[in-house]
């Protein structure tokens, strides 16, 4: 899968994605994780869209993003409507898509220097 190339090597960029694995710069993750331009959280404890809750979203919101890109796994699955409303009440957009699309979108947004959190759910 082709990804947008970053010019700034200090930015976390998705270099490779396949079901169950994502490569961020030189790091490989095989568990649910989240990524910002400057931080990676290797073990984000959300293994299914149904597990998403306020405390997990608060971890992402603490990164002060403009938008949260939530990769829901190999296929797009939507969380409960209350989580969209919760993020909106904080002034943050929540976009949900399959992991491959989420990775591509994250890379595009970071090349525009947007503050974005990419959270990927890997089903265990």
Mean pLDDT per 10-residue section of the chain, whose length is 124 residues: 56 95 95 97 95 97 97 96 97 97 97 95 84
Helix (H) or strand (E) holding 24, with range, is strand 21-24
Domain ranges of the chain: 14-120
Q: How far is CA 9 from CA 14, 36, 108, in A?
A: 12, 14, 15
Q: Which residues contact residue 84 at a Cβ distance below 8 angstroms, ignoring those fewer than 6 apart? A: 94
Kindly give the residue spans of alpha helices, DSSP state H, lying in 43-112: 54-61, 81-89, 99-111
pLDDT of residue 38: 95
Alpha-carbon distance of 53 to 31, in angstroms, equals 18
Give yes or no for a contact between 64 and 90, defined as CB atoms under 8 angstroms apart: no
Token pair, residue 80, equals 């409960």
Please determine, looking at this structure, whether the domain spanning 14-120 carries the CATH number 3.90.550.10: no
């Amino acid at each position: 899968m082709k990804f947008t190339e970053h010019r700034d090597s200090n930015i976390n960029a998705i270099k490779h994605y396949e079901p169950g694995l994502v490569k961020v710069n030189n790091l490989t993750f095989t568990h649910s994780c989240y990524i910002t331009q400057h931080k990676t959280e290797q073990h984000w404890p959300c293994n299914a869209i149904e597990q998403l809750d306020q405390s997990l979203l608060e971890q992402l919101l603490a990164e002060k993003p403009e938008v949260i890109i939530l990769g829901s796994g190999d296929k797009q699955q939507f969380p409960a409507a209350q989580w969209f409303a919760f993020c909106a009440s904080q002034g943050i957009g929540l976009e949900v898509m399959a992991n491959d699309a989420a990775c591509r979108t994250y890379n595009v947004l970071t090349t525009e220097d947007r503050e974005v959190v990419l959270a990927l759910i890997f089903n265990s």
